[in-house]
Chains A and B, each alone.
Chain A
């Protein structure tokens, strides 16, 4: 592996994965006037994603920079880009069925999804704060539109607007934070901040702290940390379910990619932050779990559950160090699979006429769809962290890193929170297996795309749970990029 070679060169090959998505999105937008554009849009989108993934995988063993140090390709970036592409592809397959059933299928959706994914890739593939911000905006703007994509639905519109307002609000803080960091260090390149850290820390302490705090707030908003989480339930519930599924995994992963890059690499020596992360982690997991307890809507429950999971993952930032960082990457990989899987089942059930995805609608599910229910149960067990699913090992690695780092109380609180979460996850299992309904359960027809998504997520959830070592090894290699 070659070391970072920071050059002025403009090497198009470095941004191949991003370009592939951009081209695919452009093609879709150009062909939008044709008939049945929404049909081939999905296909073009998938092709773009696959090409992007192939190009990404081929970058696994390089570690180079380009574009005057604005773009960095290392194993950390590669792993996250793959994760975004997978989440995006699965969402696309899921969305096709859902959007057709709801009669809101439009080719623009695919283009928006691709552009947003490209933004995430930009975020993960750089060490420069300005480029991270740029990526964040490229990611976010399409997301606002996607949230309000169901134009005829009041809730969807509300979701888009709320997300946009709160997002704009948070962006201001983030940008201010970056500005303060620049004021402290006269650079936006994290590599230079690392080299000059002791100098900056002694000469511009106030700027550094305030800047770091504001960046915590900005990305805390993206990953859904309490108290910057309040948009999540409303936005998640109002948005079309495939979009919600995407929200709950991809932007969250992108947020964590940026958080890790900044706080586990650039500002890793700023020890004072650990306490703040500690408080945020505890607040996030506790509030998320407690609020999830009494929800009657499965989508809203999953929204709060995603907050709680962000809380577990924030533990890694409080703990710091390579073990915790690789554990959180492992967690994100698993979480992406089983959370998308869970949302897929919900989205599928929602394609039935008049469904709002309330708990009560799941009664009798196991009789009508035995295999689907078993898969749903698998996802719920993984969400609550039962072995031998990947959800168990995610928590296991995360909490054992915390114990090794001496964060005993944080671990205790985390484990107790997991206990609480079992209640609402298993409630899904209980209702779908044991509750009786009047009359017959209206079945929800599967499509090949949805079936594929379910198989990939279920096999991953179980497979990575049975053989977690290899995935953890990959996560470790990704973190070595920081060394």
Chain B
């Protein structure tokens, strides 16, 4: 069994090789076919693997495939090997499923672009790297995928590299991520140092004995790994790259910067849940950073005017939600939200792409309005996704968000404060999402006549993925119905084999608290829903009914509004505190240390070499007699040395 696992990442890799090596030589239909089919094939195999895994008894739901020893170096041994367990099964389904839809969508969206072949090559390379990341059976191979997706992210953000803002955004994403990767590497070093292996199974098996519970080393290792997650998943303080990443093509934003890559940090934390359970302090940090990011980004999202930037801040905020779940040891809730978020956020981005497509490239929502009449399918699917992210009962987002809120409140690692922050974030989310919907699709038509003339619904290749994702945004949550409804939470039990070991460590248990308070859980849920609907109505009041209120509020809160609009001036602060001193230091190293000291030394050495070369050349006269003299001198020296020593 499982001997086809390697094909899942291999297919997109082949797609990448075909599209990448034959760049500029293939006609567009072939490129699309190769690009989509390779990911489609991977999706089919992922489904096959999923059902095979599901057919196994719960305890036996692990498949490993070792391809070959990658680094067999003494005690350091790393394999190229894949691990399929309930967690990675969910991930590969999300990656290939959403990935496939976005590939199809891209066929329509990128149709007129000159870099069509390059685009699909990158996209396939990304899918390959992401699958390596989630299928790896050890930290190092995961890191390979981790770096691979980072590279693809860089390439795709800067896809339109002739635009300076795009290439700058690419660089920013890459550099900020390097900070996180550095942490990831250090964390990995600590793990290898203490456990002697990087293999997930071995590390999770030996960690409880290799580390002391709550000790400094395990806390350091977890925090360092989390630094990696902060970079990749755009949390405070490294979130600054994600909003700028919207310079890339919109399907890329949907795939990489919403549905898959940015969730890699969450995946990694859940994958290492045993380690985190052993370091309660680290877990608390995860929860605090997650909650803070969720709230912080949501407040910025309130006032942004670029359709993609609103969604970008929303993504940062929702990722914070997932980390909040992880931080309160509700790992399955985190992954559940990761999955539903992948559906509705991908849909939101693709919908935004469809809007931008219709608006001839316009992204400013102040210049839109009333679009629902022109692009019906986009509007309806966008609305579905908005209902989902807002957490309207019955929609996917409701179940996952509610799960997180309840766990934040009730878990052994939770606290009412986390719940309160989560709730406020949920209300802010509802508000800014409906603000976006109303400003874009409702109200007065504010575009110029030229744009209005061109308004059209997108082609079938774009709307079909929208509709499929629309369905998923609704039903995607039904696999995780809350136990309090008397239903079975399939999703939580599905991940049990992965999280069980970690929860055994803390036996005073997180689980026990949940069941007894069914009444409380229902009450909190009810309150949340009521408030969310209230936030929705407020948005409706301000942006549909009495549009002048919005202006009034803006004027009243002048200072705060400006701060929010400028994203708390974080970029400027980083520029002042970090970038500027760094540039100064670099200039010093460049002009003084490098040019004068190092180059001087190196060039001096080279000059010395050249000089001695020129001197020695005098020995090489070209005359045999001088050669023989040298030879004879050598003989005398050798014999003399041997005899006289």
Report A's interface with B, CB cutoff 8 A.
162, 165-166, 169-170, 173, 206, 209-210, 212-214, 216-217, 220-221, 226-228, 230-231, 233-234, 272-273, 275-276, 279-280, 287, 290-291, 293-294, 420, 423
Interface membership of chain B positions 606-645, coded 1 if the CB is closer than 8 angstroms to chain A and 0 otherwise: 1001101110110110101011101101110011011101
Cα of A233 to Cα of B627 in the assembled complex, Å: 11
Cα of A214 to Cα of B636 in the assembled complex, Å: 10
Query: B624 touching A228 by the CB < 8 A rule?
Result: no
Query: B631 touching A209 by the CB < 8 A rule?
Result: no
Query: B617 touching A210 by the CB < 8 A rule?
Result: no
Cα of A97 to Cα of B635 in the assembled complex, Å: 41
CB contacts (< 8 Å) of B624 on chain A: these are: 162, 165-166
Query: A210 touching B620 by the CB < 8 A rule?
Result: no
Query: B631 touching A221 by the CB < 8 A rule?
Result: yes
Cα of A397 to Cα of B628 in the assembled complex, Å: 35
CB distance from B148 to the nearest CB of A (A): 21
Cα of A169 to Cα of B634 in the assembled complex, Å: 13
Query: A209 touching B628 by the CB < 8 A rule?
Result: no
Cα of A226 to Cα of B637 in the assembled complex, Å: 12
18 A-B contact pairs sorted by A residue (CB < 8 Å): A162-B627, A166-B624, A166-B627, A206-B643, A209-B642, A214-B635, A217-B634, A227-B631, A227-B634, A228-B631, A230-B620, A230-B630, A231-B627, A234-B622, A291-B613, A293-B609, A293-B610, A294-B610
Interface membership of chain B positions 585-625, coded 1 if the CB is closer than 8 angstroms to chain A and 0 otherwise: 00000000000000000000010011011101101101010
CB distance from A284 to the nearest CB of B (A): 11
Contact A275-B645, Cβ < 8 Å, known A166-B628, A287-B616, A293-B609 = yes
Given A166-B631, A273-B642, A290-B609, 8 new contacts (CB under 8 A): A165-B624, A165-B628, A206-B643, A217-B634, A217-B635, A228-B634, A272-B642, A291-B620
Query: A213 touching B634 by the CB < 8 A rule?
Result: no
Cα of A291 to Cα of B606 in the assembled complex, Å: 13
Query: A294 touching B628 by the CB < 8 A rule?
Result: no
Query: A213 touching B642 by the CB < 8 A rule?
Result: yes
Query: A290 touching B612 by the CB < 8 A rule?
Result: yes
> Of all chain A residues, which has the CB nearest B621?
A230
Cα of A245 to Cα of B429 in the assembled complex, Å: 75
> Of all chain B residues, which has the CB nearest A173?
B635
Cα of A217 to Cα of B642 in the assembled complex, Å: 13
Query: B638 touching A217 by the CB < 8 A rule?
Result: yes
Cα of A280 to Cα of B635 in the assembled complex, Å: 12
CB contacts (< 8 Å) of A291 on chain B: these are: 613, 616-617, 620
Query: B643 touching A209 by the CB < 8 A rule?
Result: yes
Query: A213 touching B638 by the CB < 8 A rule?
Result: yes
CB contacts (< 8 Å) of A294 on chain B: these are: 610, 613-614, 617
CB contacts (< 8 Å) of A272 on chain B: these are: 642, 645
* Of the residues A169, A206, A216, A233, contact of B638 by C-beta under 8 Å: A216
CB contacts (< 8 Å) of B612 on chain A: these are: 290
CB distance from A247 to the nearest CB of B (A): 16
Cα of A210 to Cα of B638 in the assembled complex, Å: 9
Cα of A76 to Cα of B486 in the assembled complex, Å: 81
Please report which residues of chain B, range 371-405, place their CB below 8 angstroms from some CB of chain A when the two chains form the complex. Answer: none
CB contacts (< 8 Å) of A221 on chain B: these are: 631
CB distance from B644 to the nearest CB of A (A): 10
CB distance from A229 to the nearest CB of B (A): 9
CB distance from B609 to the nearest CB of A (A): 5
CB distance from B603 to the nearest CB of A (A): 12
CB distance from A237 to the nearest CB of B (A): 10
CB contacts (< 8 Å) of A213 on chain B: these are: 635, 638-639, 642
CB contacts (< 8 Å) of B638 on chain A: these are: 213, 216-217, 276, 280
CB distance from B394 to the nearest CB of A (A): 58
Cα of A357 to Cα of B295 in the assembled complex, Å: 70
Cα of A217 to Cα of B635 in the assembled complex, Å: 7
CB distance from B620 to the nearest CB of A (A): 6
Contact A275-B639, Cβ < 8 Å, known A170-B631, A290-B609 = no
Interface membership of chain B positions 194-224, coded 1 if the CB is closer than 8 angstroms to chain A and 0 otherwise: 0000000000000000000000000000000
Cα of A443 to Cα of B80 in the assembled complex, Å: 44
CB distance from B606 to the nearest CB of A (A): 7
CB contacts (< 8 Å) of B609 on chain A: these are: 290, 293, 420, 423
Which of B609, B617, B638 is most buried by chain A, counting CB atoms within 10 A of its CB? B638
CB distance from A179 to the nearest CB of B (A): 15
CB contacts (< 8 Å) of A287 on chain B: these are: 616
* Of the residues B627, B642, B643, contact of A230 by C-beta under 8 Å: B627
Query: B630 touching A227 by the CB < 8 A rule?
Result: yes
Which of B612, B626, B627 is most buried by chain A, counting CB atoms within 10 A of its CB? B627
Cα of A227 to Cα of B629 in the assembled complex, Å: 10
CB distance from B628 to the nearest CB of A (A): 6
Interface pairs A-B: 7 shortest CB-CB = A227-B634, A230-B627, A294-B613, A293-B613, A213-B639, A209-B642, A213-B638
CB contacts (< 8 Å) of B619 on chain A: these are: 230
Cα of A209 to Cα of B643 in the assembled complex, Å: 7
Cα of A314 to Cα of B241 in the assembled complex, Å: 56
Cα of A169 to Cα of B613 in the assembled complex, Å: 27
CB distance from A221 to the nearest CB of B (A): 7
> Of all chain B residues, which has the CB nearest A273?
B642
Cα of A209 to Cα of B639 in the assembled complex, Å: 8
Cα of A46 to Cα of B370 in the assembled complex, Å: 85
Cα of A213 to Cα of B634 in the assembled complex, Å: 10
> Of all chain A residues, which has the CB nearest B626?
A230
CB contacts (< 8 Å) of B614 on chain A: these are: 294
CB contacts (< 8 Å) of A293 on chain B: these are: 609-610, 613
CB contacts (< 8 Å) of B642 on chain A: these are: 209-210, 212-213, 272-273, 276
Which of A173, A228, A233 is most buried by chain B, counting CB atoms within 10 A of its CB? A228
CB contacts (< 8 Å) of B616 on chain A: these are: 287, 290-291
Cα of A8 to Cα of B213 in the assembled complex, Å: 78
CB contacts (< 8 Å) of A234 on chain B: these are: 620, 622
> Of all chain B residues, which has the CB nearest A218?
B635
Cα of A275 to Cα of B617 in the assembled complex, Å: 27
CB contacts (< 8 Å) of B626 on chain A: these are: 230
CB contacts (< 8 Å) of A166 on chain B: these are: 624, 627-628, 631
CB contacts (< 8 Å) of A165 on chain B: these are: 624, 628
CB distance from B300 to the nearest CB of A (A): 48
Which of B612, B633, B634 is most buried by chain A, counting CB atoms within 10 A of its CB? B634
CB distance from B592 to the nearest CB of A (A): 25
CB contacts (< 8 Å) of A206 on chain B: these are: 643
Cα of A419 to Cα of B429 in the assembled complex, Å: 60
Cα of A216 to Cα of B637 in the assembled complex, Å: 12
CB distance from B602 to the nearest CB of A (A): 11
Cα of A336 to Cα of B338 in the assembled complex, Å: 58
CB distance from B90 to the nearest CB of A (A): 38
Query: A210 touching B634 by the CB < 8 A rule?
Result: no
Cα of A195 to Cα of B512 in the assembled complex, Å: 83
Cα of A214 to Cα of B632 in the assembled complex, Å: 11
Cα of A233 to Cα of B622 in the assembled complex, Å: 9
